[in-house]
Amino acid sequence: MHDPIKIPKAYLPASSFNESETRYVDLISDLIAIRANFTYRAYRWINDEFEFNCEARILHFYHQARQVEFKIAPAKGLRRLENTESLVKSNWKKENPTSVFWTRLMIAPASSAAANHLLSGMRLLSGFESNSGFKIVAEDSEAQKHVDAIMAKHYAWGMPTTGDLRFLNT
């Protein structure tokens, strides 16, 4: 027989965010709350264009308790920005020693706590800027409808010159 999973009473915030960054925490929190699997790709402004910065995959599991797993990876060439020691202290783990992916499993977290831990990990991985562009893609078209509704609620906007990148007003 398996040992029951011990559900934490609460997760303390992993980081504090300023007012403009909090808009991203709120968006990710609402996305986590719908319990759909999705990918969040962040882009930053470098050399007069938006370049891929990092990717986060958000996966939900329902084995013995509601679990959410995060997998984050920096863009090629940005691994030098990884704050490895702080990622480990924050309970992030490498999938294997040569992997670019860092993972974090949370058991029954409040969506706001999960969002805080995810964005904190992304910040430690490759930095975080409140003017970042992003793409959010759900695993299936039904979940994408919910993702799109949440992005509309948060006034995520885009423009033809950036393709399908979205932004939050800061």
- How much is the pLDDT for 1? 47
Which among 140, 150, 138 is positioned nearest to 57, based on CA atoms? 138
Domain ranges of the chain: 19-156
Tokens representing residue 11 in the block: 């997760």
Strand 102-107: give its sheet, edge to edge.
93-94, 102-107, 67-74, 49-61, 38-46, 133-138
- How much is the pLDDT for 163? 80
- How much is the pLDDT for 169? 75
Tens-binned pLDDT, residue by residue, of the chain (170 aa): 455 566 666 676 678 888 888 999 999 999 999 999 999 999 988 888 888 999 999 999 877 678 999 999 999 888 887 888 999 999 999 988 888 999 999 988 999 999 999 999 999 998 888 888 999 999 999 999 999 999 999 999 998 877 889 999 75
- How much is the pLDDT for 131? 83
